Structure 1
Amino acid sequence: MIVDAECGMPLDLGKWECLWEQDADDSELNPDPNNLPVLDPKDQFLLLDPSASFGTHANHAASGSGTSTPSQHVTWLRKTEYLSRDSSYRQSPHGEQRPVAEAPIDVSRGAQIRDIEASFGAANDNFDLSTLKHPNKPNVTAVDSYEVLPDANIWANAYDLFRFSERPGDKPRPPDEDDPRLDCAVLRPMESEGDHFLAYYLTKDDDTAVDFKRTRLERPVNGVQDEDPTTFHFVRDYEVVKVEQEVSNELLLVLDDGQRNVKEELIPESEVMPSQPRAKGAYYKNIERKMLLKKKRINSYDQDTKKWHMIKVQHIRMDDDEAKEREEAEAEVKDPNYLLSAMDADAEGEVADAEGEVDTGDHEQAGGEEPIDPLDVLGD
């Protein structure tokens, strides 16, 4: 017995000598079409028409009962009634139902603004704080509500979320004791023999960290630091275990009651400070990345000449490029026409003017004179 590897069917190929011997008679495998062998009676029904065969069996069954019923051919791939398209075209007893024509939807910019403003009224009018229910804690009641708004003061900053496998720091403290140095630490990217890691720095004591955060809060965004630099000391190195590039379920959230926390004389004119009073609301900022850190094993044989044992941090004024980059990032939440201006710019950065003409930067001087090439004046 020989088994075919393709079909997995047992085939006895030993009956046909033509498969094994040369010049053998192959008439058994390739019969003459004009002189076909007699088919076995058990296989003769395979040559009949399927519809005729079903009708024959149905007629025999009907003749046995004494009544004649018309035979109906049903295919073996028959569609079920609830999936058949024929049932959808059946008319209802009350007549044909035609779909109701819907009114056209106004998608103009003015209509969109109107609908958006109406949604605020639907969410805030007749608002009752007592009707709010916690989805998981039925005994918790709401005591106040805040409008959710983007935090324009920090929108230009990029924030990463770092998680440590254990509590960082160089001083053992009780779990319930807060360490004011941890929220103003410095992480410096490092590389040694192709290995990337982060160097972790903290202030020497708690008072230095508190003073650093206080002066940073009182200082304007683009102000100049008059105090001495703050010194951060090296603690240890950390390895990056996991990095998540897209963090869509975690945000920086600040609940602001609209109260002033800094004295008015500390706020210079024409300067925007994080502590400047603003409307009451819950201000959010998205997180760019999320990283998991663990302590890096200390190797005494590593000779890293780029390691800094001390870092002095001082606030300086932004240059023109940095200030422009910050303004462009803040325009996303401060400029109402931000999306429109972004759509007007083409792929090469050319911006269309009010008349729809593209400004390429080539302008003619008054009187029809051609523009002066700076190289003609200054030389090559």
Structure 2
Amino acid sequence: LRYAKPEFLNSIANDTPLPMIVDAEMGMPLDLSQWECLWDEDGDDSLLNPDTNNLPLLDPADQALLGDPVSMPTPYTNGSPSAVVSGVTTPTPANVTWLRKTEYLSRESSQRGSTSQEPKMLQQHIDVSRAAQLRDIEASFSTCNDPSSFDLATLQHPNKPGVTAVESYEIFPDADIWANAYDLFRFNERPGERPLDAEDPRLDCAILRPMESDGDHFLAYYLTKDDESAITFKESRSISQHADADQPSASFHYVRDYETVKVEQEVPNEFLLVLDDGDTTPYPTSSSPSVPRAKAAYYKNIERKMTLKKRRVAGNESYGDKWQVVHVSHTPFAQEELDERAEVLAEVVDPMFLLNRTEADAEGEVDESAVAQADKTDDVMDTADTDPLDIF
């Protein structure tokens, strides 16, 4: 009956007499002849306008009408004291239809009541002066400057008081992968054809190939044919970081296309973090021997974040640059690639990187307008002196 129409109650209301005893005038006197002051100017009007300093005595039966309902110890129901007295009153939500009181309304009323009881936080004055900032920065390095005073038991989580620290790591940039650019991809649903409860080691070494068709940009997704191929490929990458001509290539097969839903070009506060306990031995080279890295937490920044969803497959769609199989093999770096990686790696391995970059920027300051004018002149001269070419 919660959502039923209330018209069926009309007959019940008409047949039920109301327990009210009133006079013929419904409590409002209509006979004005009994008030002499209304007809006679010199009549006594004390009954209509009583003296505030000499008020008539109130009938004891009407004393309860002047009491405060909240402060009354005994609640009244329909004019008579209630037999059940409860010390807790249930608040009634405001603007609630009597026929639609559901669990949603009770939840809303409880949330509203808890919000109203929250104590107001006083605004604290924060010193942002230069001296205060220097003081706080120096205080954050107090543990590093004095390792003897460091104690894990004194560390406290800023938001979770019950969490305790069990181990500490120094934080360093990961020089082994710093020259690489990493993007973070999120899928709306698990890629591949296997169910969610089935393990799929192929997902750790998938390939995303940028594609374009009629101005539409998307990504082609590739996986290995079986689990053994994926495991072999990952083991070969973990053993050696350098090219091996005798190493067999790995084959990745086309699965489906994905399109981007959201792209975040700048991710300033998210990093890849690797906790190394000091037992990782990098691949030895001629310049660096096989020495384990120090125990630390190594980080690398994330370039971009993308959210992908499955691209709708069109039956008549075809594009010539589509590959069904991708064969991946290792090749040596070209000298240009090595120079580019060394330049990026210098950011974390060269102590003079910032100073050298500042000097390079200062030496490279030239008049941009003069350069633009010179480029325009060179373009005109090159156009005049160049013979026409046939392009096939």
- What is the match of residue 275 of structure 2? 255
Could you tell me how far apart the structure 1 residues matched to 2:322 and 2:314 are? 14
Q: Which amino acid is 1:288 matched to?
A: E
User: Which sits farther off after the overlay, 148-157 or 115-124?
Assistant: 115-124
Q: Which amino acid is 1:192 matched to?
A: S
Q: Number of residue pairs matched?
A: 229
Could you tell me how far apart the structure 2 residues matched to 1:240 and 1:188 are? 13
Residue 319 in 1 paired to residue 339 in 2? no
Residue 151 in 1 paired to residue 170 in 2? no
- Pick from 269, 277, 285 the counterpart of residue 292 of structure 2: 277
- What is the match of residue 195 of structure 2? 172
Q: Which amino acid is 2:335 matched to?
A: D
- What is the match of residue 308 of structure 1? 323
TM-score normalized by structure 2?
Answer: 0.54
Residue 219 in 1 paired to residue 236 in 2? no
Q: Contact conserved, 2:143 with 2:150, CA < 8 A, in 1?
A: no
- What is the match of residue 22 of structure 1? none
Residue 242 in 1 paired to residue 259 in 2? no
Residue 334 in 1 paired to residue 349 in 2? yes
Q: Which amino acid is 2:158 matched to?
A: P
Q: Contact conserved, 2:186 with 2:306, CA < 8 A, in 1?
A: yes
Could you tell me how far apart the structure 2 residues matched to 1:272 and 1:328 are? 22
1:1-380 superposed matches below 5 A: 121-122=144-145, 124-174=147-197, 177-220=198-241, 222-260=242-280, 267-270=284-287, 277-346=292-361, 349=364
Could you tell me how far apart the structure 2 residues matched to 1:289 and 1:118 are? 31
* RMSD between aligned residues: 2.5
Q: Which blocks of at least 5 consecutive residues in structure 1 are unaligned?
A: 1-104, 106-114, 351-380
Q: Which amino acid is 2:249 matched to?
A: P
Could you tell me how far apart the structure 2 residues matched to 1:123 and 1:307 are? 60
3-state DSSP class of the match of 2:149?
coil
After superposition, the Cα gap between the structure-2 partners of 1:343 and 1:304, relative to the gap in structure 1 and judged at 3 Å, is same
Q: Contact conserved, 2:143 with 2:149, CA < 8 A, in 1?
A: no
Q: Contact conserved, 2:253 with 2:326, CA < 8 A, in 1?
A: yes
Q: Which blocks of at least 5 consecutive residues in structure 2 are unaligned?
A: 1-130, 132-137, 366-392
* Superimposed CA distance per residue, residues 143-200 of structure 1 (whole angstroms, 9 cap, x where no aligned partner): 10001111111111100000000011122241xx442211211000000111110000
After superposition, the Cα gap between the structure-2 partners of 1:193 and 1:348, relative to the gap in structure 1 and judged at 3 Å, is farther
* Superimposed CA distance per residue, residues 269-326 of structure 1 (whole angstroms, 9 cap, x where no aligned partner): 33688xx621111100000000000000010110212110000011111010000001
Could you tell me how far apart the structure 2 residues matched to 1:229 and 1:155 are? 26
TM-score normalized by structure 1?
Answer: 0.56
Query: Cα offset for 1:343?
Result: 1.5
